[in-house]
Structure 1
Amino acid sequence: MPHIDIDYADTLSGVLDLPALVAELHPLVVERVDSVGVGKTFCRSSEAFVDGRPDAPFVHVTVGLLPGRGPAVKAELSDDVLALLGKHLSGVEGATYSAEVRDLDPSYRLHPTH
């Protein structure tokens, strides 16, 4: 039941094939963390990214998981996500991309439960 957030520069609209990225990313995450839940993937464009370069192309992926996976599993998943982003951004000059895998806060609730 991972929650995946994809934040990306709006300058990548029409360049980054989000449906193709999600089609590979979502099952990759579910498989790597041995999830039994459905999970959700959210994509959000951003007008601003400050790194000293105007209109810098970036993508950041955050994966939120229920607690229980160790640091090694999270690090390997981050590496897998970075590799996938590299594939999807290979034609984008100067692209910056990052990934974070974290535990969802204990206050997380889902309704209705599945």
Structure 2
Amino acid sequence: MPQITVDYSADLADGFDRPGFAKALHEATVEIAAAKLPACKSRFRPTEDIVVGPDTEGHAHVHVHIALLAGRTEDTKARLTEAALELLRTHLKTADGIVLHASAEVRDLDASYRKFEG
């Protein structure tokens, strides 16, 4: 915990500093949501196809999913979401003419969540 997943348009790969974004988001998660830095885990999933409304051309998408153990306030979750979006602004460069659709959410992990380290 936390489990962070970032879905992003594959054509953003060259302009997306994924390691820098993950490091900065991990630090923000520690500061804002009282997570422990060694517990922060991020994975990035490029998506090949995106359709926004009726269009396929000229759009790119990034969605940040942050899953935390239950117990954070709605204000804490909102602050972390805003931080994630701000960090995207500094770690992601899009080509001219591309409309970026960026979003983020923080949710509670289900009570069934378990993990092990081996």
TMscore range, shorter length: 0.7 to 0.9
SS at match of 2:39: coil
Match of 2:55 among 50, 53, 56: 53
* TM-score, length-scaled by structure 1: 0.88
Quote the RMSD (CA, aligned, Å): 1.8
Q: Work out the number of aligned pairs and report it.
A: 113
Alpha-carbon displacement from aligned partner over 1:28-54 (angstroms, at most 9, x marks no partner): 112211113512111110112221332
2:85/2:103 contact within 8 Å kept: yes
Structure with bigger helix share is 2
Q: Secondary structure of the residue that 1:95 maps to in structure 2?
A: strand
CA contact (8 A) 2:17 2:92 kept: no
What is the match of residue 101 of structure 1?
106
Find the residue that maps to 1:74 and give its secondary structure. Answer: helix
SS of match in other structure, 2:112: coil
Report sequence identity in percent. Answer: 37
Of residues 70, 73, 91 in structure 2, which corresponds to 1:67?
A: 70
**Is 1:24 equivalent to 2:29 in the alignment?**
no
Distance 2:99 2:80 in 1: 23
**Structure 1 unaligned spans of 5+:** none
Which amino acid is 1:108 matched to? Y
- Matched residue, 1:40: 41
Q: Distance in 1 between matches of 2:46 and 2:66?
A: 17
> Structure 2, unaligned stretches of length 5 or more?
none
Provide the TM-score with structure 2 as the length reference: 0.85
